[in-house]
């Protein structure tokens, strides 16, 4: 099976996933967490020791568990950040804490703005754009401009797939979402560069072979490494999803989607796109 000759099939799979995600993104949008929307901040101090599990159990009972953050600190102090609460909901939460956990002292109960504002989001997008430009320059110098274009196409694929599926699955988007996207981009470009390096090496060794065979052989020579690497990351992320708790589950799920997408695009999109670009250049 020649992977390059089947490239239109790989493109079609990517297109279907991206379109599904974009439809969800434009109809449902993203499920922004309190980092983006703001909410209520409640800090209490208990007379006796308290665990995160006790507080989270209560939050789930009064339908405030989803999206809420709970932190503990020295002196039996608990910090709860949740969606914007009415006075009745705030009183219900405090009364529940007293009844389920014990006597407490209310240190503060206030409304807070979003931790991640429009300016920070714009700076994150600017950073991503600068990173893309620098990648294009680096790959062009090390390889050639067509390799750079193919790599950027694969990265856009990963971002669109990740954002789209996060919307489709309704995963909560918090501050860690930006870190997840940047990590996914770094992981994906690393895997793509390794395949590109093998293609360049084989272009010099297999000059008499058809170009599609050279690219296919290069992908197959690096396939075991790519699969083994992504599997080790998937195992770690699966463990975090199962045992890591609610707080990091959305981040772990986002990373899992992006890592799988990055492995797919590096193998089935980046090299075929370079092959098509080279054929177009030769034809012209």
- Using the Cα atoms of residue 130, residue 31, residue 190 and residue 204 in order, give the sign of their dihedral: negative
| 115 — pLDDT class (breaks 50, 70, 90) | low
The predicted structure's pLDDT at residue 276 = 94
Q: Quote the mean pLDDT of the chain.
A: 87
Q: What is the CATH number of the domain that holds 133?
A: 1.20.1640.10
- Asked if 200 and 143 count as a contact pair (C-beta separation under 8 A), the reply is yes
Q: For 31-54, what is the mean pLDDT?
A: 82
pTM summary value: 0.81
Within this chain, do residues 124 and 48 fall inside the same structural domain, yes or no?
Answer: no
Q: For 179-200, what is the mean pLDDT?
A: 90
Between residues 110 and 267, the one the model is more confident about: 267
Quick count: other Cβ atoms within 10 Å of Cβ 270?
29
Percentage above 90 pLDDT, the chain: 43
Residue 116 has pLDDT above 70, yes or no: no
Bridging pattern class, strands 31-32 and 172-173? parallel
Domain residues for 85?
Answer: 39-112
Whole-angstrom distance, CA of residue 118 vs CA of residue 125: 11
Within this chain, do residues 24 and 44 fall inside the same structural domain, yes or no?
Answer: no
Within this chain, do residues 71 and 47 fall inside the same structural domain, yes or no?
Answer: yes
pLDDT digits (tens, 9 = 90+) for 58-79: 888 888 777 778 887 777 888 8
Half-sphere exposure of residue 209, counting CA atoms within 13 Å on the CB side?
14
Does residue 134 form part of some domain? yes
The predicted structure's pLDDT at residue 122 = 80
Domain-terminating residue out of 94, 112, 130: 112
Does residue 54 form part of some domain? yes
The predicted structure's pLDDT at residue 192 = 92
- Of 7-16, 101-110, 200-209, the range with the highest mean pLDDT is 7-16
Residue 117 has pLDDT above 70, yes or no: no
Domain-terminating residue out of 66, 93, 112: 112
| 172 — pLDDT class (breaks 50, 70, 90) | confident
Give me the residue label for tokens 């703001």: 38
Within this chain, do residues 78 and 174 fall inside the same structural domain, yes or no?
Answer: no
| 260 — pLDDT class (breaks 50, 70, 90) | very high
Say how many domains are in the chain.
2
Residue 38 has pLDDT above 80, yes or no: no
Within this chain, do residues 101 and 156 fall inside the same structural domain, yes or no?
Answer: no
Least confident of 114-123, 146-155, 156-165: 114-123
The predicted structure's pLDDT at residue 68 = 79
User: Can you give the chain as a three-state secondary structure string?
Assistant: CCCCCCHHHHHHHHHHHHHHHHHHHHHCCCEECHHHHCEEEEEEEECCCCCHHHHHHHHHHCCCCCCCEEEEECCCEEEEEECCCCHHHHHHHHHHHHHHCCCEEEEEEEEECCCCCHHHHHHHHHHHHHHHHHHHHHHHHHCCHHHHHHHHHHHHHHHHHHHHHHHHHCCEECHHHHHHHHHHHHHHHHHHHHHHHHHHHHHHHCCCCCHHHHHHHHHHHHHHHHHHHHHHHHHHHHHHHHHCCCCCHHHHHHHHHHHHHHHHHHHHHHHHHHHHHHHHHHHC
């Amino acid at each position: 099976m020649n992977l390059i000759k089947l490239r239109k099939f790989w493109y079609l799979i990517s297109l279907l996933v991206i379109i599904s995600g974009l439809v969800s993104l434009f109809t449902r949008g993203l499920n922004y967490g309190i980092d983006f929307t703001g909410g209520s901040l409640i800090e209490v101090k208990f007379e006796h020791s308290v665990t995160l599990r006790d507080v989270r159990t209560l939050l789930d009972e009064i339908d405030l568990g989803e999206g809420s953050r709970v932190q503990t600190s020295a002196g039996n102090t608990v910090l709860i950040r949740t969606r914007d609460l009415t006075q009745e909901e705030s009183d219900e939460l405090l009364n529940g804490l007293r009844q389920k956990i014990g006597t407490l002292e209310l240190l503060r109960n206030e409304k807070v703005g979003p931790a991640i504002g429009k300016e920070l989001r714009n700076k994150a997008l600017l950073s991503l754009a600068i990173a893309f430009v620098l990648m294009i320059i680096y790959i062009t110098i090390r390889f050639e401009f067509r390799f750079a274009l193919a790599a950027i196409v694969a990265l856009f694929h990963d971002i669109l797939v990740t954002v789209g599926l996060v919307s489709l699955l309704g995963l909560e988007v918090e501050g860690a979402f930006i870190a997840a996207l940047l990590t996914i981009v770094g992981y994906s470009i690393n895997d793509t560069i390794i395949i590109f390096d093998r293609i360049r090496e084989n272009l010099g060794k297999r000059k008499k072979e058809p170009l599609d065979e050279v690219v296919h052989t290069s992908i197959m020579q690096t396939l075991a490494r790519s699969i083994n690497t992504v599997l080790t990351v998937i195992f770690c992320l699966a463990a975090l999803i199962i045992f890591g708790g609610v707080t990091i589950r959305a981040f772990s799920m986002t990373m899992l989607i992006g890592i799988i997408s990055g492995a797919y695009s590096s193998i089935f999109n980046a090299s075929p796109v370079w092959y098509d670009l080279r054929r177009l250049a030769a034809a012209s």
